[in-house]
């Protein structure tokens, strides 16, 4: 975007606008609804045609046939073994179904959808040349000139879904997040207003930090082996009672028998260290590697935080450690998101949440 570099303090990297000089202040503004985040990493796909909702319903984990206009949900495309291949936010406007997808996998999803059309009345397209994505609270995004706006259902358990996290209250209980699909010309105007000091924007780092603190899974948690159960994605992206779709047998089996092979944990990282681990950094229990970081951020209230996928057998009360770039490790206190025996028959007592660090 040509106007981004003109915004005072703007730091741009390969993923787009990262921040505007003060990521922690930007988080506060974003959470309060006083700013919106420029999400350059999002790709906008559209599916037109009379059969669009029933077609997507047949291919994905979500029940979409009766999706009402303006209602936000999300879907997963699974491989035959039930692993997450693609994830997308979904909203329909009555004529078109809009999908918001993270850039690294958007081309693959579009190609797969185009191959699955057969003789149905559906027409999937990449609309990213015309539209970009801005994120924020429902009130903040609702004021934007959007073609459609997706309201994130997280962490509420949807019809046909199932929640695995047993922490009370859930840290995403106050999560207020929407993503607006906005014409590129309108985004360019917003960037020019921000450059003149007339509008508050943030980069993607602020949005990432709020998401991690809310334990909200995203494409970063899908590493090619991820089952929806492992990251508590049955809450919002899976309908357990809908018709057949690829990977459904694994979804039902793991949910009914419990014990997914890995589990998502939240990590509170040692705040005395300046460096943060990177996504993909190994997680250790003593000298044994038990998992990997999937997302990491510095939160304005909680300090350094991360999400990680660890082995189911890793003790839930163990203090872990994480590798950092200089070759050392830092301590990481874990909070259980998905219990080791997560599934339909699990009977896990509710757990209080760890206190926030100021």
Question: How many CA atoms, within 13 angstroms, populate the side-chain half-sphere of residue 351?
Answer: 18
Task: List all residues 6 or more positions away from 143 whose beta carbon is below 8 Å from its beta carbon.
Answer: none
In a domain, 327, yes or no: yes
In a domain, 355, yes or no: no
Q: Give yes or no: residues 86 and 185 share one domain.
A: yes
Count of domains observed in the chain: 2
Q: Give yes or no: residues 163 and 26 share one domain.
A: yes
Q: Give yes or no: residues 175 and 268 share one domain.
A: no
Q: Give yes or no: residues 280 and 330 share one domain.
A: yes
In a domain, 52, yes or no: yes
The residue from 166, 195, 221 where one domain ends is 221
Quote the pLDDT of residue 347. 63
Local confidence pLDDT in tens for the 358 residues of the chain: 457 867 889 999 999 999 999 999 999 999 999 999 999 999 999 999 999 999 999 999 999 999 999 999 999 999 999 999 999 999 999 999 999 999 888 999 999 999 999 889 999 999 999 999 999 999 999 999 999 999 999 999 999 999 999 898 999 999 999 999 999 999 999 999 999 999 999 999 999 999 999 999 999 999 999 999 999 999 999 999 998 999 999 999 999 999 999 999 999 999 876 788 999 999 999 999 999 999 999 999 999 999 999 999 999 999 999 999 877 899 999 999 999 999 987 765 666 666 544 3
In a domain, 246, yes or no: no
The residue from 162, 197, 221 where one domain ends is 221
Domain containing 305 — which CATH number? 2.40.30.110
Question: Distance (Å, rounded) from C-alpha 200 to C-alpha 19?
Answer: 12
Tell me the pLDDT tens digit for each residue of 285-343.
999 999 999 999 999 999 999 999 999 999 999 999 999 987 789 999 999 999 999 99
325, containing H or E segment: none
Q: Give yes or no: residues 113 and 38 share one domain.
A: yes
Domain containing 112 — which CATH number? 3.30.1360.120
Q: Give yes or no: residues 73 and 158 share one domain.
A: yes
Q: Give yes or no: residues 48 and 149 share one domain.
A: yes
The CA radius of gyration of the chain, in Å to the nearest whole number, is: 20
Q: Which domain holds residue 195?
A: 4-221
Q: Give yes or no: residues 181 and 318 share one domain.
A: no
Question: Distance (Å, rounded) from C-alpha 295 to C-alpha 217?
Answer: 9
Q: Give yes or no: residues 213 and 272 share one domain.
A: no
In a domain, 248, yes or no: no
In a domain, 250, yes or no: no
In order of 191, 308, 353, the CA distances from 338 in angstroms are 40, 11, 14
CA angle 150, 10, 294 (to 5 degrees): 55
Q: Give yes or no: residues 69 and 181 share one domain.
A: yes
In a domain, 228, yes or no: no
Q: Give yes or no: residues 199 and 88 share one domain.
A: yes
In a domain, 33, yes or no: yes
């Amino acid at each position: 975007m040509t106007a981004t570099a003109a915004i005072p303090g703007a730091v741009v990297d390969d993923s787009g606008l990262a921040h505007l000089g003060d990521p922690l202040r930007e988080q506060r503004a974003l959470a309060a609804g006083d700013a919106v985040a420029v999400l350059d990493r999002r790709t906008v796909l559209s599916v037109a045609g009379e059969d669009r909702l029933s077609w997507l319903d047949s291919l994905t984990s979500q029940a979409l046939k009766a999706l009402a206009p303006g209602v936000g949900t999300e879907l997963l495309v699974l491989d035959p073994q039930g692993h997450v291949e693609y994830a997308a936010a979904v909203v329909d406007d009555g004529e078109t179904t809009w999908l918001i997808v993270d850039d690294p996998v958007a081309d693959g999803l579009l190609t797969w959808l185009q191959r699955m059309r057969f003789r149905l009345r559906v027409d999937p397209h990449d609309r990213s040349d015309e539209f970009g994505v801005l994120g924020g609270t429902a009130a903040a995004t609702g004021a934007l000139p959007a073609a459609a706006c997706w309201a994130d259902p997280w962490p509420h358990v949807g019809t046909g879904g199932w929640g695995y996290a047993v922490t009370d209250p859930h840290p995403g209980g106050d999560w207020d997040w929407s993503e607006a699909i906005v014409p590129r010309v309108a985004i360019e105007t917003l960037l020019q207003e921000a450059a003149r000091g007339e509008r508050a924007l943030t980069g993607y780092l602020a949005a990432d930090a709020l998401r991690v603190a809310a334990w909200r899974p995203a494409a970063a948690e899908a590493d090619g082996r991820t089952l929806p159960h492992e990251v508590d994605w049955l809450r919002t992206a899976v309908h357990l009672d809908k018709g057949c779709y690829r990977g459904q047998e694994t979804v039902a089996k793991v949910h009914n028998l419990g014990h997914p092979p890995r589990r998502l944990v939240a990590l509170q990282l040692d705040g005395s260290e300046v460096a943060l681990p990177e996504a993909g950094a190994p997680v250790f229990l003593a000298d044994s590697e038990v998992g990997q970081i999937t997302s990491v951020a510095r939160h304005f209230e909680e300090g350094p935080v991360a999400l990680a996928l660890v082995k189911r057998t890793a003790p839930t009360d163990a203090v872990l450690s994480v590798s950092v770039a200089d070759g050392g490790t830092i301590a990481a206190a874990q909070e259980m998101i998905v219990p080791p025996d997560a599934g339909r028959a699990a009977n896990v007592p509710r757990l209080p949440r760890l206190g926030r660090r100021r």
